[in-house]
Every structure is written in structure tokens, then in C-alpha cells.
Structure 1
Amino acid sequence: MLDIQRMNPNYFHPLQPEFEMNTRYYVEQKERNRENQSTFLFYQFKMNEGFANPISVIPDGCIDILFCCDEQQPTANVCGSVLQSKSINLKAGYEYFGVRFLPKQETQNLNCPMSEMIEREVPLTDMISTGAAASEKIVNEHDFHKRIKLFKQMIGSAIFASGNSSPSIIKYSLNKIYLSKGNITINQLADETGYSTRYLRKQFEENIGISPKLFSQIVRFQYSLYMLLKDHDYSIKDIIVENGYYDQAHLINEFKKFGNLTPNTISKRMVISI
């Protein structure tokens, strides 16, 4: 069985495999915010010279802030989760710095709520007043750890509130979804919270942007992907059992639905890239 602490949302963050597979290098660092007990994934990668193919991003239920470190034409965008695999064009030969966070971590001072960020990409300057100055400093800095420090000083403190304003039903439901690895139904959530399924669905759509059922499916897909790519001791059968799939066909269909690839294809691509 999996170590539940290791797979707890405080220790686990959804993956974007092609950031690692199709880049010259990739580094990441997780940090815990002691004030609101949230975890951020900081990462950095560099696109290969002459790389003309788009990078695919997959559903992860998260929001990313992604900086293109082109000193002549820098960009910084707030990117919401996609609902199926989507190709994005990144500049060949350039470095990218990003921050990924889960939806339970409030962004009270952004001009756009998280529920409206699904499948959207918005310039950081449209979201916070300090966006332009912060982006310039982060792009002009070349050290990964110093970029993290700049982000926390100039952006993190401005947009991530110390408290969490999500309704208690959302906070509770998200924790249950993460701890169950997406294996919980809306009826079970309704029974545990004492609210109707209709009310629960409405709260999710208002605060997260998608239904609890779809969000749970994305979480399960991401946990399965993590086991497939990061925990090589687990077989396909283990992944099916641990993540509550009916059978191998069910697992494959969900990988195709969200990642547009089978588990076997993703695993082989990851091995080849390494």
C-alpha cells in the first residue's frame, strides 16, 4: 500500500511530464507556507535550441504562474488547469520559471477568481499591480533559488493571503478528495458534509470552476500518473487497485481522456527522454 503521508497534498503536487521530457533540463523545489499550511511547487526548465514542436499540458486541477525568461520580450502568465491535453507553444532555447499551487490555496488579491481560470491564460500584469516590476526582476535573475526568493517577496506576499477564505465545505471536500486520491463520490461528500449534492456541486463550480466529480477524476488521474512515473516499484495492476479503477480498460480510458495517451506510451516516452 502507498504511504498516505507521501501522497498527502502537503507532500504531493500534480505533474506536467512534458516539462521534464521535452526540455534541456528541469529542476523543482517544494516549499511549505507555515502560515496557511499550503505547499508551492517552484520549477524551472529550459527549452531545447531549435525545438519547434509544442509542449503538451494535461489536467492537474492547479494554477501555474509561468515566466518566460526572455530578457528582450519577457512574459508572465497566470495559467488555469486545462480539462484535457492541450498543446502550448514555448520559445525554443529560452528558460522558464514557474510556480504551481493547488486550488485550496486562496489567491484573494488576484483580479480574477480561481473559478474563472479554468482553461484560461491571463497576463500577470492584469492580475496584480506589482506584476510588471516583479516579472522584470525575476526574468533578469538567473539563479533558480534567487528567483524563488524574489517571487515570495514581490508576488507571493501580495497575492496569497495568510488566511483561507474558501467556504468550509470546499476546504473539507478538497481535503477528502486529496486524501482519498480522488476515490470519493459526490454522494459520499454530501453525506459527510451534511449538504445536498446540488449545493455541493454549486459551491465547487463557484469556487473551483468544475464539478466535484470531474475534479476527483483529475486528482485520481494525477495520482496514477505519479505512481507510474515516479514510483517505479508499482505495476499497472498496483495502480489500478490503489486508485480505484475497475480494470485496465478503465485506467487506459481515463489516461486517454485526460492525457490523450495510454499509460504504456507515457511511461515509454519518459524513459526515452531520460
Structure 2
Amino acid sequence: MIKFQNTQTNNYLPLQPEFEILTDYYLEHKERNKHNQSTILFYQFKMKKDMINVITVIPDGCIDILFCCNEKAPFANVCGSVLQTKTINLHADNEYFGVRFMPNQETHKMNYSMKEIIDQEVPLLDMISIDFMIVERLISERDFFGKINLFNETIRKFIFDTDSSSKVIEYALHNIYLNRGNITMIQLAKEIGYSTRYLRKQFEEHVGISPKLFSKIVRFQSSISMLLKVNHCTLKDVIMENGYYDQAHLINDFKNFGYMTPNKFTEKFSARTTYSTL
């Protein structure tokens, strides 16, 4: 069994392209935990006035807390990662504030397990025991960084306990991110020094899905990121960087997650990145 050492930070951070592109505006801000490892992404966007209230979300392996900042009809939901692309209903001309966090940000204070919220939306107040007035304060705050500060001061402590993170999962995730998801469970188990059965059990508890499926999501997200953010990126580049056997293998991955083909994705989004990172 290996002796775990502090892993270097990784740059993997999943995207939800339609949040970023098919909205009036999009802002984001990234923070790392006190060990400078896991990332929390804060983001804010406003739906367009002429939107049909529908936006597409894709698998990302993360958990989001989404706040609707409409003071007349506010809500705050915890959203588990979807396993296939699906549409969600949001209100036109409304502002939304979100918090996206990676697996292994310990959430033992939540009333649901990670597995129970996969592909589900659960009201925040059902997940953690806080006063709705805290949520109302955050929703009423107009400034993006004001919302972030309020979340960190009032809600964060009810969700995260970074002192109790699983070193097994931490090291496994680091290896998956490092390899862009292109790693087998046998390779991963050998690298960590545990059996594939134990690794699968740990992933179910801390991530909610199997390490094999999580790795596929990471590779899918890595491909999306390259197509969207790397200038002059070709499908050949994506195939080589992410360990796909050929173009058919890449297309099959996109289809398995219920998404459009890589070519259609590039046509739809490649020239439309308009968000701001703060």
C-alpha cells in the first residue's frame, strides 16, 4: 500500500458551455481550498429575455448549488451531476448564482449521500440545516463578489469539512485528472495500491459513481474544453491528447453522453466564448 503524498494542484475544471455562451452575460471566479487542492467555482449568469426557458447541462462529475436570484420567486437547489445530457428549465431574464465543487470536497454534513443526488435536484434547505433568511440575504445581494463572500461566511461551513477528505479518493482523482480520464481501473488501482473493488466502493461513497464512469466524464469534459477554448484545435488534436483510438471512438463517447457530435459542437460554440473570468 502506497504512502500518500500531497499531490500537486490540477487544472481540471468542468464546463457547462450553455451557461457560459447562451446567456446575456457570464462571470466566474475560482477558489481553492486551504490545502490549495480542490477547486470551487463561483459563477453568475443572466438568462436572455428571448430564451425559451430551457438550457442544456452536460455530465461533469461535480455538484452545483444553484440560486435563482428572483426575489419574487427565489430558490436554491443542490444539483448532482447528470449522467446524460439533459435540459433544465430556467426563467427568461432572471439572474442565477452558482457554486460548483469537485468530488472529495467532504460534504458529510449533508442529509443525502453523493450517490443519492446523482442526476437529481434537491432543495438546499433539505440538504443542510440552515435558516432560509441566509439564502434570502445571498439572493438579495446584487454584487457578484458580495454573493461569494456571503456564501463563504454563512453557508460554506455547513457543507464542507476539508479536514476529513479521503486520501484514497484524493490521489485517485489526481491521477484521473492528470491523465485526462484516459486511465483504466486496473492501472488506477495499481497506482494507488488498493484493489479495484475497494476503489469502486470508495468512489460510490465519496463521488457517487464508479471510477470508470467518472474517468469517461473527465475525458469527455477535457475534449469539450479543448474544442471550446484551444485556438485552432482539430479533432485530431482532441483524439491524440485524450487517448481516443480514432474519430469514431470520440464520436461514440459524445453520443453515449447524449450530446451533439464534436463537429456540430464546434460549429455551434467555437466562436461564441463571451464569458469573463474574475
Matched-pair contact (CA < 8 Å) for 1:33–1:39: yes
What's 2:29 paired with? 29
d(CA) in 2 for partners of 1:85, 1:250: 18
Cα distance change of structure 1 residues 245 and 179 upon mapping to structure 2, 3 Å threshold: same
Structure-1 separation of matches of 2:245 and 2:131: 46
What is the letter of the counterpart of residue 37 of structure 2?
Answer: Q
Structure 2 partner of 1:258: 257
TM-score using structure 1 length: 0.91
Q: Say if 2:104 and 2:206, in contact at 8 Å, map to a contact too.
A: no
Q: What residue number does 1:229 align with? A: 228
Cα distance change of structure 1 residues 66 and 131 upon mapping to structure 2, 3 Å threshold = farther
Report the residue type matching 1:183 in the other structure.
N
User: Which has the higher relative contact order, 1 or 2, with Cα contacts under 8 A spaced 6 or more apart?
Assistant: 2
Which residue pairs with 1:173 in the alignment? 172
Q: TM-score, normalised by structure 2?
A: 0.90
> 2: distance between equivalents of 1:36 and 1:117?
26
Q: How far does residue 13 in structure 1 lie from its aligned partner after superposition?
A: 1.0
Unaligned stretches of 5+ in structure 1?
Answer: 1-7
2:4 — aligned with what? none
Deviations along 1:93-150, whole A, 9 cap, x unmatched?
1000001011121112111122322101110111122251221011101111111111
User: What per-residue deviation string (whole Å, max 9, x for no partner) do you get for residues 152-200 of structure 1?
Assistant: 111112211131332x322221111111110110111222233222222
1:131–1:67 distance in 2 versus 1, CA, 3 Å: farther
Q: Distance in 2 between matches of 1:161 and 1:74?
A: 27
Residue 11 of structure 2 aligns to a residue in which SS? coil
Aligned identity (percent) is: 60
Matched, 1:140 2:153: no
What does residue 207 of structure 1 align with?
206
- Cα deviations by residue, 1:52-94 (Å, 9 ceiling, x for unpaired): 1511100000000000001011000000000000110001110
Other-structure match for 2:150:
150
Match of 2:16 in 1: 16
Q: Name the residue aligned to 2:96.
A: 96
Counterpart in the other structure of 1:3: none
Structure 1 window deviating more from structure 2 (74-83 vs 257-266): it is 257-266
Report if aligned partners of 1:59, 1:259 keep a CA contact under 8 Å in 2. Answer: no
Partner amino acid, structure 1, of 2:113: P
Q: Is the 8 A contact 1:42 1:148 kept in 2?
A: yes
Question: Could you tell me which residue of structure 2 aligns to residue 74 of structure 1?
Answer: 74
State whether structure 2 residue 185 is matched by structure 1 residue 186: yes
How many angstroms apart in 2 are the aligned matches of 1:70 and 1:146? 16
Aligned equivalents of 1:38 and 1:17: distance in 2? Answer: 21
CA distance, structure 2, for counterparts of residue 182 and residue 131 of structure 1: 39
CA RMSD of the aligned region, Å?
Answer: 1.7
Cα distance in 2 for partners of 1:248, 1:131 equals: 51
| CA deviation map 1:238-266 (0-9, x unaligned) | 11001000001111111122252011111
